[in-house]
Each structure stands twice: as structure tokens, then as C-alpha cells.
Amino acid sequence: MTGYVEDLLPGSGWGEPDGQCVAWYVYWETPPGAWEDYSPGVCGHWAKSPYLKLDYDPTELPEKPPEITGATKAVLVPVQF
């Protein structure tokens, strides 16, 4: 899965001006049924550019899911560190 994030309030972060990070909550399709997972957090205010690209492959995780056949939904959610 590839996702993009744009920091619309560039700054140092940690509340100045926003300091928000995001993650994708993904509903994957697998032969045994649905498998839900969060991507790693992405923090635009810590990057050198306001545009970030995240390539995420859950099959590289230690507790990887069974064979993924697709995704039914991906939701961008705010996260706090």
C-alpha cells in the first residue's frame, strides 16, 4: 500500500503549529477473512518536505497476515506520540 501525507501547517511540531501525526487503519481481505491493521505513524512536521510518501507492506511484519487478496477500506486516523 502506498499513501501520501501533506503537512498543511508546516512548523517544528510538538504543538507548533499542529504537531499531529497520522496512520492508516486498513481492512485487508484474506482467505480466512478480514484482517485489520495500523500502518506505522507518519509525522509531516518532522520531515524535510511537507509531502511524505509511505510505502507499507504488512507481509513484511513479524506477525504477518495470511495471504492478502485485497483491501476493502483504508482510513486515515490521527495518532499522538
pLDDT by 10-residue block (mean), the chain, 81 residues: 79 63 87 86 76 84 82 85 64
User: Which pLDDT does position 17 carry in this prediction?
Assistant: 62
How distant, in Å, are the alpha carbons of 19, 42, 78 from that of 45? 6, 9, 13
Answer yes or no: pTM beyond 0.75: no
User: Which pLDDT does position 12 carry in this prediction?
Assistant: 62
d(CA 69, CA 81): 32
Backbone angles phi, psi at 32, to 5 degrees: -75, -15
Backbone angles phi, psi at 60, to 5 degrees: -90, 0
Preceding peptide of 50 cis, ω within 30°: no
